[in-house]
C-alpha cells in the first residue's frame, strides 16, 4: 500500500490566478495540475542541461556576441577600461 503526501502551499495572487486558469482550461483538479506540473518540472531538470543548450543554440543566443577571444580571461581589465572612458 502506498501512502500519499499532502501538500499545503501559499501562493501569491498571480500564481493563484495562473492555477485557476490551468484548472479552467484543462478541467483538472488542483491536485492533478500540481502533479502534472511537478512531473514536467522534474523531467526538465533531469534533462535540462541538454535541452537548455539546444534551445539556446537554436535561438541563436549562443555565439551571438562578439569580442576578443580572451575576454573571459581579461574581462576585469576590459570592464575597467570601458568604465574609465565613460566616467572621465
Residue 26 inside a domain? The answer is yes
Residue 59 inside a domain? The answer is yes
pLDDT of residue 26: 94
The tens digit of pLDDT for each residue in 25-68 reads 999 999 999 999 888 888 777 776 677 777 777 777 776 667 77
Residue 7 inside a domain? The answer is no
Residue 44 inside a domain? The answer is yes
Average pLDDT score, the chain: 82
Rounded distance between C-alpha atoms, residue 30 and residue 20, angstroms? 8
Domain count, the chain: 1
Residue 48 inside a domain? The answer is yes
Rounded distance between C-alpha atoms, residue 68 and residue 84, angstroms? 19
- Which domain covers residue 29, as residue numbers? 13-86
pLDDT of residue 1: 57
Helix orientation angle between 13-26 and 30-59, rounded to the nearest 10 degrees: 100
Amino acid at each position: 500500500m502506498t501512502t500519499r503526501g499532502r501538500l499545503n502551499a501559499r501562493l501569491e495572487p498571480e500564481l493563484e490566478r495562473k492555477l485557476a486558469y490551468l484548472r479552467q482550461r484543462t478541467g483538472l483538479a488542483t491536485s492533478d495540475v500540481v502533479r502534472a506540473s511537478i512531473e514536467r518540472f522534474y523531467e526538465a531538470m533531469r534533462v535540462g542541461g541538454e535541452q537548455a543548450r539546444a534551445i539556446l543554440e537554436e535561438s541563436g543566443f549562443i555565439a551571438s556576441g562578439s569580442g576578443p577571444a580572451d575576454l573571459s580571461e581579461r574581462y576585469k581589465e576590459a570592464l575597467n577600461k570601458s568604465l574609465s572612458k565613460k566616467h572621465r
